[in-house]
């Protein structure tokens, strides 16, 4: 068993790490990277931009690291066809369809590359190394720039028939379907969970209510210092998460839910309101039986899951 290179591609950060077979991070780097080329006029330009950005970042990281890695695993925000590494589509990169991301990256870096949905990678990481270890099934939720979901069912990752299972952030949590005056989501619908419980939603709602620009981390700090508006926005995020988890549990009857991602740093405020709404909405025999745990992997669930999907030979 060898060390692998793991990559976690987010809406905000690109993180790279060398990880050993036991899940220890030996070396890591974090950089800002804009994968969506807003000036791209064609899918060919957009595709070339992604491959160049990712392979340059990986080559630079490997060149400065004292560790080496023979294969690469990557979590990427998008929908993938099974385990082929072919990107069916990505909400953030609308020009891309059926794009063979793993194959092209592998040709460019000259190492085997496996790619999977970022939230599914986080679920795999949490299940193998973190708060979901030992559970046969696990619902994992990522609270980052957006809201993602990943499902482990009977010890196996479940991606769905089109790689689009567990689009947890796009569960509709309010009833504005008929009048369409709710919060507009990037997916085109209104009042998706992501429009309340993502870091970007928290920032946007705070700006709407106060006229002030801030970031989610500072809004959490304001709430800790007693700011009523910051507190109510984070409490709302918890409430809507609780509601969405309750609806999911009605379908899946899973007793362990884990949560990772930057906004899970606001756990002391989000978790109590989440649990209250969850228990209020569960069907009675399950009340009190669903455990919602904060990731024990700091913000490394996605990286560790990416390491787990890299071919290891």
The contact set with ligand ADP (CB under 6 A) reads 10-13, 144-145, 199, 215-217, 220, 261-263, 265-266, 299
3-state secondary structure (DSSP) of residue 278 = helix
User: What is the nearest approach in angstroms of Mg ion to the Cβ of residue 302?
Assistant: 5
Q: Which residues does residue 151 pair with via DSSP β-bridges, in sequence order? A: 139, 158
Angle ∠(289,292,296) on CA atoms, nearest 5: 135
Between 237 and 275, CB nearer to Mg ion: 237
Look at residues 263, 310, 300 and name the one whose alpha carbon lies nearest to residue 102.
Answer: 310
Please report whether residue 10 would count as binding Mg ion according to CB under 5 A: yes
CA distance 86 to 84: 5
With CB under 5 to 8 Å by kind, the binding choice for 217 among Zn ion, Mg ion, ligand ADP, none is ligand ADP
Please report whether residue 192 would count as binding Zn ion according to CB under 5 A: yes
Phi-psi region of 80 (alpha: psi -120 to 50; beta: other; left: phi over 0): beta
User: What is the nearest approach in angstroms of Mg ion to the Cβ of residue 78?
Assistant: 12
Between 85 and 148, CB nearer to Mg ion: 148
Between 192 and 310, CB nearer to Zn ion: 192
Please report whether residue 125 would count as binding Mg ion according to CB under 5 A: no
Between 81 and 217, CB nearer to ligand ADP: 217
Greatest C-alpha distance within the chain: 58
With CB under 5 to 8 Å by kind, the binding choice for 148 among Mg ion, Zn ion, ligand ADP, none is none
Sequence-distant (6+) residues with CB within 8 A of 91 are 77, 78, 146, 186, 187
With CB under 5 to 8 Å by kind, the binding choice for 185 among ligand ADP, Zn ion, Mg ion, none is Zn ion
Per DSSP, 300 falls in state: -
Q: How far apart are the first and last CA of the chain?
A: 6
* Beta strand ranges found along the chain (DSSP E): 4-9, 13-19, 25-32, 72-76, 79-80, 87-89, 97-99, 113-117, 138-143, 147-153, 156-158, 256-260, 291-294
Between 17 and 143, CB nearer to Zn ion: 143
CA distance 168 to 241: 10
Between 227 and 247, CB nearer to ligand ADP: 227
Please report whether residue 185 would count as binding Zn ion according to CB under 5 A: yes
| x/- map, 141-180, Mg ion, by CB under 5 A | ---x------------------------------------
CB 243 within 8 A of CB 141: no
With CB under 5 to 8 Å by kind, the binding choice for 265 among Mg ion, Zn ion, ligand ADP, none is ligand ADP
Please report whether residue 305 would count as binding Mg ion according to CB under 5 A: no
CA distance 20 to 1: 8
Between 224 and 252, CB nearer to ligand ADP: 224
- Residues near Zn ion (CB under 5 A) are 170, 185, 187, 189, 192
- Residues near Mg ion (CB under 5 A) are 10, 144
């Amino acid at each position: 068993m060898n060390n692998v290179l793991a990559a976690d591609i987010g809406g905000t950060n690109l993180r790279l790490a060398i990880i050993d077979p036991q899940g220890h991070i030996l070396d890591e780097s974090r950089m800002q990277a804009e994968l969506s080329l807003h000036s791209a006029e064609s899918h060919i330009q957009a595709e070339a931009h992604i491959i160049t950005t990712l392979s340059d970042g990986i080559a630079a990281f490997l060149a400065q690291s004292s560790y080496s890695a023979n294969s690469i695993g990557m979590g990427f925000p998008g929908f993938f066809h099974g385990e082929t590494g072919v990107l069916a589509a990505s909400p953030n990169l609308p020009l891309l369809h059926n794009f063979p991301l793993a194959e092209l990256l592998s040709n460019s870096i000259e190492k085997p590359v496996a790619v999977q949905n970022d939230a599914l990678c986080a679920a795999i990481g949490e299940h193998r190394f973190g708060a979901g270890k030992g559970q046969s099934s696990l619902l994992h939720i990522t609270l980052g720039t957006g809201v993602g979901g990943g499902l482990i069912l009977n010890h196996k990752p479940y991606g769905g028939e089109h790689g689009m299972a567990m689009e947890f952030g796009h569960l509709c949590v309010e009833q504005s379907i008929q009048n369409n005056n709710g919060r507009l989501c990037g997916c085109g619908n209104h009042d998706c969970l992501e429009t309340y419980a993502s870091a970007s939603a928290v920032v946007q709602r705070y700006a709407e209510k106060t006229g002030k620009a801030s970031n989610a981390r500072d809004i959490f700090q304001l709430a800790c210092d007693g700011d009523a508006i910051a507190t109510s926005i984070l409490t709302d995020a918890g409430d809507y998460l609780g509601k969405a988890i309750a609806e999911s549990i009605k379908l899946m009857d899973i007793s362990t839910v884990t949560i990772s991602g930057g906004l899970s740093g606001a756990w002391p405020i989000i978790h109590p309101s989440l649990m209250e709404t969850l228990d209020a909405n569960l069907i009675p025999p399950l009340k009190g039986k669903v455990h919602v745990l904060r990731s024990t992997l700091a913000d490394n669930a996605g990286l560790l899951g990416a390491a787990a999907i890299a071919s290891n030979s």
